[in-house]
Structure 1
Amino acid sequence: MVEITPLQPQDRPDWLELWHGYLTFYESEIDQATTAATFDRLTADAELHGALARDDDGHAIGLVHWLTHPATWTRSDYCYLEDLFVAPDARGAGAGEALIAHVRAWAERNGSAKVYWLTAESNATARRLYDRVADRSGFIHYQIRMP
């Protein structure tokens, strides 16, 4: 059974291990100062939210981060699920689905009009889960990076 718990300051070592796994998965690097600030914001900032998935032995096996923002198509906020990661050796045991369900329940309690997220086209394993629990929007993501 997977247990989902809100991210707490004492979770830093567990979160950091999962965060580094997430960055490695996406072949990305973030400097230590930004990583530290991200964790601090997730545990102290009212606008960023985080949770961990733990297995039966209490080991952290997954993380999720989300935030809400105003939208022009509704009077309610949208909930953006920004990061979702399950450790490779724990995949397929329901942690990803439980983390998504946790965010969905939070968003519903807090009046969000929808929950949405992005993933890499190549992320076939996660997309099988996403196709089961959500509808594809049909939109293509574009971005402009600032210097």
Structure 2
Amino acid sequence: MTSIRPLITADRDDWLPLWLAYLEFYESSLSPEQTALTFERITDPDHPIHGAIARDDAGRAVGIVHWFAHPATWSVGPYVYLEDLFVAPDVRGGGVGRALIGTVTDWARSAAASKVYWLTQSHNTTARTLYDRVATDTGFVHYEIELD
């Protein structure tokens, strides 16, 4: 049985390999300073970014999720952006990803949010198989402008 709970400072050594694997999957890298800042933000109860960690029966960290709420122009309640979701490759397909999304959805309901949304790469077929079961593909295309 997978257990999921909010990330705390003591989880850093278990969170870090999952975070680095997530960045590697997306062919990205961040400085050690940015990684440290990200973890500090997630584990700071006064910061608006939240995180949770999934552990298997043996206590091994097998997944992470990060999210935050933001105001929206199209609804009374906020929207919740699920920014990062990663499940260890050896446990994919076993319900961990669904459970982590459920954690964010439950949090969003408790925050009176109007919706939870996220982005993924179009060729991320493994994740999209799950996403197509738990959410609606809106058909939107993502654009961005990087700022220095």
Query: 1:116 maps to which residue?
Result: 117
3-state SS, counterpart of residue 118 of structure 1 = coil
How well do the aligned residues superpose, as a CA RMSD in angstroms?
A: 0.7
Is 1:6–2:15 an aligned residue pair? no
**Structure 1: which amino acid aligns with 2:145?**
I
What is the rounded CA distance, in whole Å, between the counterparts of 1:138 and 1:124 in structure 2?
16
Q: Which aligned pairs between 1:1-147 and structure 2 lie closer than 5 A?
A: 1-44=1-44, 45-147=46-148
Q: CA deviation at 1:108?
A: 0.3
What is the rounded CA distance, in whole Å, between the counterparts of 1:133 and 1:57 in structure 2?
27
**Structure 1: which amino acid aligns with 2:13?**
P
What is the rounded CA distance, in whole Å, between the counterparts of 1:68 and 1:16 in structure 2?
23
Deviation track 1:90-119 (CA, whole Å, cap 9, x = no partner) reads: 111110000000100000011000000000
Task: Show structure 1 runs of 5+ residues with no match.
Answer: none
Task: Show structure 2 runs of 5+ residues with no match.
Answer: none
**Structure 1: which amino acid aligns with 2:10?**
Q
3-state SS, counterpart of residue 101 of structure 1 = helix
Q: CA deviation at 1:138?
A: 1.2
What is the rounded CA distance, in whole Å, between the counterparts of 2:55 and 2:138 in structure 1?
30
Q: CA deviation at 1:50?
A: 0.1
**Structure 2: which amino acid aligns with 1:37?**
L
Q: How many residues align?
A: 147
Deviation track 1:38-80 (CA, whole Å, cap 9, x = no partner) reads: 0000000430000001101110000000000000001110000
The ranges of structure 1 where at least 4 consecutive aligned residues each deviate by more than 3 angstroms after the TM superposition are none
TM-score by length of 2: 0.98
What is the rounded CA distance, in whole Å, between the counterparts of 1:19 and 1:89 in structure 2?
16
